[in-house]
Chain A
């Protein structure tokens, strides 16, 4: 066996080694990628978004806007208080309700309701919204996010489970029409 032949044979074995490791690497990469992307694929899981009770209607008098809280439907035991989410419930006339996300449509800061001036104001960059959630002024491009809601057995339920952000408000409705 010539030295050249020996070299090429060993080189072939080296290539075989690289090939084998590439295959193993590719096979291992799949579960790693799936693991990493589990927060994204979990969206399809049952119970990700569900109807949650905000409590009896008597807590939300007609013509007023009140703060309500709920526990997120999907939680881990170590989430602590971060899984408690707040929202604003507006009882328009005793029949019609609006449920606004706490998150400003600009960058997600918690908006505060001022009944005296009938405005929602954001502490971060000064976004302001009218009582129907439509944009009044400031940097937000749109009105407050609204949750879908229904009334059953004298309680108000909202469909929630995901933090509303400007890019994914598909599950929520936009606030009322923009007024100048």
Chain B
């Protein structure tokens, strides 16, 4: 290859590198005043991994704690679509949502500053159901059965909730009579009624019934003191209790609590098991704020959904309809005044507007077909990433300075050629990383710093060979030729074996380690080009400058 061509190739590579690395204008989502907007920014097109720019990495898998899932791979495929929709709407710049292996979803959210909220958005099942509250007093009828069942377990319960025991002894009224009394007082204001109930009427003979009391007059509504919620949940989870529950009904907790007479209660609702309609017909959901009801989410159904909703609600006029999200009753079930069509709303209780926004988002994106749990999570603060980059640059600069001193000190002029090649090495490696859109990680940066030390190895091998040839009395020109030729096999073999190791790392590594492997591979390629091709060309230029006049070589 003629010298002209060699020089042309080197300059071509330099030009290409500058072109790849030149800061360019890209459209990306950036955060402005707390909102993500599309904007154009100018930056060097080097991708930083989560550990360098901060952000969140989540691995999710199917949660089988609530029952086995038959085809996990398919379930994950379906869940993936939903999660992707949600993340797209959540507003993060360059998110990654992908399937890993057969049964896992990887979510990467760069620059996230509220990881818990992000996780909620990803994990929320968002399964919406509309269910009519029970009018048949099914729970009251089942209470004696339940109490009998739990008789043997009463002791444990009493130990578990010592606070309750005191209340129980203070009251004497029977539960059944209490209920009748309550329903007869329907006309009374709900507040005073419940307050009275809270003040003196908890209790009863049975283990279960003493924990549960009548609500505010709505059929199917009950209150459980917040302190007893855990106990009742335990009871309900018992298989024999589940079997004794009234058929065709389900019990659902309320999403928020009420404070009555100084005590905090959580609503427990008995609902018809079959929902009149589910969220699958939802086409849109928007957050809103109403002066009377606070924050809420307004939703719209498609035609089919609206038709069913109208028919079903028309059949249940004067009944109460619970809006159940992920098995929690949202707000107070409203009474159905007349048939409801395509539009409806979910009140958020005391939650803030952001909660309403997030709920609207997950409702729009659709419900998760299976519950997901977090298999692994990493959250890195943005400042930590900045710090890592800064430190890596310091370490890299010092490494370069030391290597330059060693090479110049030992090989003089030839060392200077190697240093020039090292500059090109750094340029080419970075360009390769940018060009292949490789992700730069902290171990990757460390690998890059290390590779600066290793990159000159090929030069050292060549220079030592040239020295040997010169020692054998060869002319400068022949010594250089022979030196390159003899060093070649060692350079190729050692670099290829390192590249193979890097390939294995890439295959089996995760996130940061993958970044390391990519940097290593780019470095090996660049080092081969610079030490063999570029330095050789430098020598050729030097030899050409004064024809055969070069009788000695500074090496």
B and A form one assembly:
no
Interface residues of A (CB under 8 A from B): none
